Amino acid sequence: MACILCVASLFLSLTKLSIGQREVKIQEGPLYRAEGYPVSIGCNVSGHQGPSTQDFQWSIYLPSAPTKVIQIISTKDAGFSYTTYAQRVQSKEIYVERLQGDSVLLHISKLQMKDAGEYECDTPNTDGKYFGSYSAKTNLTVIPDTLSATMPSQTLSKKEGEPLELTCEATKATAQHTHLSLTWYLKQEGGGGQATEIISLSKDFILTPGSSYADRFVAGDIRLDKLGATFFKLSVGKLQPSDQGQVFCEATEWIQDPDETWTLITRKQTDQTALRIQPAARDFEVSIRASSSPDEGEPLELVCLVVGRDGDPQLQGTWFLSGKEIAQIDAGGVLDLKRDYKGRASQGQLQVSKLSAQTFSLKIFSVGPEDIGTYSCEVAEVVRTQRGFWQVLQRKQSPGYQMKLREPTARSVAVSAERHAVWEGETLTLLCKAAGDASALSVSWWLTAQDQTTPVFVAGMGQDGTVQLGVSSLGPAHRGNRRLEKVDWATFRLEIASATVPDSGTYECRVSERPQSQAKDLQSSQKISVTVKSLKSSLRVNLMSRQPQVMLAHTFDLSCIVRANYSDLKLPFSVTWQFQPAGSGAFHQLIRITHDGTVEWGDIVSQIHRKTTVSQSFFRSQLQIHDAAMEETGVYRCKVEVYDRNSVCTSGPARVSATSNLLMITVTFPESKLRVNSSSQVRELSISSSTQIECAILSRSAGNLPLSIIWYFSPISANASYLKILEMDQTNTVKYGNEFQTPRSKQKFYAEKISQDLFLLNILSMEDSDQGHYHCAVEEWLLSSNGTWQKLERKTSGLTELKLRPTGNRVHVSKVSWTGNATEYGEVGFSCSLEGSGSPASMYSVTWYRSRGTAAATAAAATAVASTTEIQMLVHLQYDGLLQYGREGSKRLLHCYRSSPTDFVLKLHRVETEDAGMYWCRVAEWQQHGHPGKWINQASDESQRMMLRVLRSEPTFSSRICNSGPLLHFLVICPFIMLLLLFTSFLCLYWKARKLSQLSLSAKNEKALWVGMRKMSLQKEAGMDGEGY
């Protein structure tokens, strides 16, 4: 029977488990953690129903109140925390980390002694009924932090290869059973503050080296020994340069939890020991050698060789040219070229390589003047630190190698004289003979007189035998005394008949030739002295350019070549580039490269410095200007100033200076091929008909440059200037001229582009005012790189004259001359009359014009000036009576009207001084044509010019008031202020009178009251007296 009950009980239990029973589990305790360190307690729930994500609520039972629950934190309710823990929960010092939907961790970042107690993890019910456990508890004990790690702070200086021993003491006084682990660290300079592990002793007493020290640990170079219970010694057998830095040790205390896992409860670091390591001396020498002194354009290879260094050191090499670094190869083979040499290396002109571990190579495939200088190489022995940086152990510099271009072998020249001294009037004969193989030579003789310091050209003979005689100081007649002849291909004879004193001095024979494969002439010279001479400084500066005429937007360069016999002194010099723009009379400084290497830009207002590059080598400076603009047209020159050797330190003045020759650089447009049809024609059209005028392009420049087409019109009247109808510019934007801005004009004239070479001007409804000469102007434009348009060429077509077929009608305006005076601020009137009564079928319109002029001008002179001055349209009275004002007319007080069918009047009101000038009218006749009727301009005529003088008027009192703003304001505002003061005074008087009235009334009332009281008192006295009787 008992067995049956046991089986039934087991079956019931299995049945319950199969249904699902909630079970809450918490990390097993007791748990021991140190004060001030974090703690994490795990809790999970299983066998639950409802959502997969369960909520957790943490509480504590303190040892002082074991039955009182204190709520800490909840994943469900933000207000769950009691006041004791609310602030720590809000500051995230206490928080819950969810691992899964049914598993969490309670974190306390910094334990306090009051956090000790029994912790409960509770899960709110999400099942249909209560079945199983809903909470679990564990104990947490907070213990004091007793761990201590000490090592004295010190600085040690060691040499590479010496041993090192450091001792660290770690103690603890924890009552519970704990283990210690200890680790030594190295913090290197430049390591970003991160320490490298050297060696560690784990809590299980296992020694483990850091990854960077594994090989040295296996070799026995790194040791960690425990001395007694609390001391730990770090031993390094042979220090290396990479061991330099800050060394310290770190002690960690561990405790084993009931689940047999070890947990860190405390950690301490010691003070740091600064370790300085002096690398061991590894002496070696560096030498440099070159293949040979090359000619310009030949290759050059320099080899830098390390001598006297055994083993396999890690070396990096650096190349210098005249003290300036040009390239570097580090120990890992990484090449770093400076900016000026990156482009040459990418073009295959330069190669820097490491031939072996101790050999470096610099190869220049085509040597040029910019490669002249002193080359040297520097080799540094390096070692890679634990962080991957290269640490330099020592550096060695090679001797300098002076690289000079081998000059072409010059042909020797011998100069002789029949006699070194001759009397005045005798013939002086000099011979100049060149040695070597026969070749085409040119010769020139120069003389430096005894009282002169500059050589003077005497005579010269070109390769073709052309003789050129120099200018004589005695005048042109003395030139005939000189004769230069060629004896044979190598011998030249100079004869000066009737020699004079100024002919004495030092003669120089210069023989020049152009060898093959040479870019410049090879010149030889020889001198002979007739008398003793003192030479002046031989400084010569020559400015040259291969392209004195440069196309727009192209690049041109200028070479300033300095020649001096004392070039071997290597004196410092400065070069100043100057520019005189075309049309300017002064030179401006472009750029100056001083003798100490400073670059100074000039004050010229231009963008030229943004597109200018300057390269300078010994006694040569080159200026290169990119994207040439028209503003760069002008005269260029360079000025060279030579300084003393110590001028860099003393800032002394220049010893001597020289200015180059003037070089004219002309920036030109590309050659234009633009041609326009220039044939003229005359057309006779019917009134109100339409026509087209062609503008044909016969040829254009290469590239189909943009064109602008401008149409012009000149009326048939005398002295008429051309008016711009419209312009279709190079961007195809159409702009109408000032006289054709009205909507009617824009509708009447419009341009049309038929093809790339044909443009049309359409004229609709031909009228009398349209008669005249028409032509087009074609402009070819070029867009420069700076975004500005440059006009390349302008061509004008032939004239097309348009006439109307005669209709029998003709307008004639009276040509009566008129000159009048008007007083300033007065009125004046002008009249314009037709001769004859006119046609009854016609209507007339009038337009009044004005051109400014001087009052003293005569009528004839005024007429001449009117054709050149600006004409202003004042007002236009249309045939239907509508008025249309011009820009000037709308600003003036004027009145235009018809006094009779054939008389027109213009009146100016309030005339001013600027109204002086010439006035005239133009009357046009209109007739109706077609059906429905359209009014067409049949004919027109202008009146004679009328001169108006404006006389200044004497100012009256009223005009002075009106013209004076402050006085006018005073007269307007002053009465208002007076009225306001009077009104204020009236209010004050009224207020005072009312106040006096109130005081008087009050006094009367008081007096009446006193009288009444007196009467009553007298009556009472009288009554008392009557009773006595």
User: Position 623: which residue type?
Assistant: L
What angle (nearest 5°) sits at the alpha carbon of residue 522, between those of residues 518 and 524? Answer: 165
User: Position 704: which residue type?
Assistant: N
Residue 277: closest CA among 182, 184, 183, 186: 186
Q: Which of 258-272, 410-424, 999-1013 has the lowest mean pLDDT?
A: 999-1013
Instruction: List the structure tokens of 664.
Output: 């004219």
Instruction: List the structure tokens of 693.
Output: 């005028």
User: Position 38: which residue type?
Assistant: P
Residue 802 pLDDT more than 50? yes
Instruction: Of 11-25, 198-212, 561-575, 657-671, give the range with the top mean pLDDT.
Output: 198-212
Residue 758, pLDDT score: 93
Residue 962 pLDDT more than 90? no
Q: Looking only at Cα atoms, what is the longest distance across the chain?
A: 190
Rounded to the nearest integer, the mean pLDDT of the chain is 82
**In the block, which residue shows the tokens 């030229």?**
608
pLDDT digits (tens, 9 = 90+) for 75-90: 988 889 999 899 999 9
State in Å, rounded, how far the first CA of the chain is from the last one. Answer: 145
Instruction: Of 44-53, 109-118, 864-873, 1013-1022, give the range with the top mean pLDDT.
Output: 109-118
Instruction: List the structure tokens of 221.
Output: 């170079």
User: Residue 981 — pLDDT band, cuts 50, 70, 90?
Assistant: confident
- Positive or negative, the CA dihedral 14, 15, 17, 22 is negative
What angle (nearest 5°) sits at the alpha carbon of residue 804, between those of residues 803 and 805? Answer: 120
Instruction: Give how far Cα 79 sits from Cα of 55, 57, 114, 118, 134, Å.
Output: 14, 11, 22, 22, 21
User: Residue 773 — pLDDT band, cuts 50, 70, 90?
Assistant: very high
3-state secondary structure labels for all residues of 578-623: EEEECCCCCCEEEEEECCCCCEEECCCCCCHHHHEEEEEECCEEEE
Residue 536, pLDDT score: 39
Instruction: List the structure tokens of 389.
Output: 């940086």
Do the strands 390-397 and 39-46 form a parallel or antiparallel pair, or are they unpaired? unpaired
Residue 897: closest CA among 889, 885, 905: 905
What angle (nearest 5°) sits at the alpha carbon of residue 239, between those of residues 237 and 240? Answer: 140
Instruction: List the structure tokens of 944.
Output: 């004679």
pLDDT digits (tens, 9 = 90+) for 889-906: 666 778 898 888 888 999
pLDDT above 70 covers a percentage of the chain that reads 84
pLDDT digits (tens, 9 = 90+) for 720-731: 688 999 999 988
Residue 664, pLDDT score: 93
- Distance (Å, whole) CA 630 – CA 606: 12
Q: In what order do the strands lie in the sheet with 57-61?
A: 31-34, 135-143, 117-122, 57-61, 69-74
- Distance (Å, whole) CA 643 – CA 652: 8
C-beta separation of 674 from 699 below 8 A: yes
Residues 6+ apart with CB under 8 A from 1026: none
User: Residue 856 — pLDDT band, cuts 50, 70, 90?
Assistant: very low
C-beta separation of 450 from 533 below 8 A: yes
User: Residue 637 — pLDDT band, cuts 50, 70, 90?
Assistant: very high
Residue 1022 pLDDT more than 80? no
Residue 441, pLDDT score: 85
Q: Which of 13-22, 155-164, 465-474 has the lowest mean pLDDT?
A: 13-22
Instruction: List the structure tokens of 298.
Output: 């030949």
Q: In 10 A of CB 559, how many CB atoms?
A: 19
Do the strands 154-159 and 273-278 form a parallel or antiparallel pair, or are they unpaired? parallel
Instruction: List the structure tokens of 468.
Output: 């050129």
Q: Enumerate the H helices of 806-933 as residue ranges.
A: 859-866
Instruction: Give how far Cα 249 sits from Cα of 149, 268, 272, Å.
Output: 8, 9, 8
- Distance (Å, whole) CA 172 – CA 181: 12
**In the block, which residue shows the tokens 């000619």?**
295
Residue 649 pLDDT more than 60? yes
- Distance (Å, whole) CA 898 – CA 879: 10
- Mean pLDDT of the region 89-113: 93
Residue 140: closest CA among 252, 28, 36, 65: 28
pLDDT digits (tens, 9 = 90+) for 896-940: 988 888 889 999 988 888 889 999 999 988 877 765 667 777 788
C-beta separation of 253 from 178 below 8 A: yes
Q: Is 136 helix (H, G, I), strand (E, B) or coil?
A: strand
Q: In 10 A of CB 470, how many CB atoms?
A: 16
Residue 818, pLDDT score: 86
Residue ranges with strand state E in 716-799: 723-728, 734-736, 749-755, 758-763, 772-783, 789-796
C-beta separation of 90 from 73 below 8 A: no
Instruction: List the structure tokens of 742.
Output: 């009205």
User: Between residues 561 and 616, which one has the greater pLDDT?
Assistant: 561
Please state the pTM of the whole predicted model: 0.36
Q: Which of 52-56, 219-223, 960-964 has the lowest mean pLDDT?
A: 960-964
Tally of CA atoms within 13 A in the half-sphere of 86 that contains its CB = 8
Residues 6+ apart with CB under 8 A from 530: 417, 420, 421, 422, 428, 503, 504, 505, 506, 507
- Distance (Å, whole) CA 439 – CA 521: 13
Q: Which of 25-34, 102-111, 127-136 has the lowest mean pLDDT?
A: 127-136
Residue 519 pLDDT more than 60? no
Do the strands 57-61 and 69-74 form a parallel or antiparallel pair, or are they unpaired? antiparallel
Tally of CA atoms within 13 A in the half-sphere of 109 that contains its CB = 9
- Distance (Å, whole) CA 474 – CA 829: 79
- Distance (Å, whole) CA 34 – CA 746: 97
